Amino acid sequence: MSVLRPFQASDMFKFNNVNLDIWTETYNIGFYLHYLSRWPDLCCVQEAPTGRMMGYVIGKAEGQGAEWHGHVTAITVAPEYRRLSLARKMMSLLELVSDEIYRGFFVDLYVRCNNLVALELYEGMDYSVYRRVREYYGNLGVGKGGRDEEDAFDMRKPLSRDGARRSVRSNGRDIVVSAHDVS
Ligand X SMILES: CC(C)(COP(=O)(O)OP(=O)(O)OC[C@H]1O[C@@H](n2cnc3c(N)ncnc32)[C@H](O)[C@@H]1OP(=O)(O)O)[C@@H](O)C(=O)NCCC(=O)NCCS
Q: What is the DSSP string of 32-80?
A: HHHHHHH-GGGEEEEE-TTS-EEEEEEEEEE-SGGG-EEEEEEEEE-GG
Mask: binding to ligand X, 18-57, rule CB under 6 A, as x and -?
Answer: ---x-xx---------------------------------
**Alpha-carbon gap, residue 35 to 127, rounded angstroms:** 23
Question: Which of residues 93 and 119 has its CB atom nearest to another protein in the complex?
Answer: 93
94 binds ligand X (CB under 6 A): no
Question: Which of residues 22 and 164 has its CB atom nearest to ligand X in the complex?
Answer: 22
Residues at the contact surface with another protein, assessed by CB under 8 A: 1-6, 8-10, 12-14, 16-17, 19-23, 26-30, 33-34, 36-38, 40-41, 44, 48-50, 52, 79-85, 89, 93, 96-97, 100-101, 140, 142-143
User: Torsion angle of alpha carbons 50, 51, 53, 54, nearest 10°?
Assistant: 40
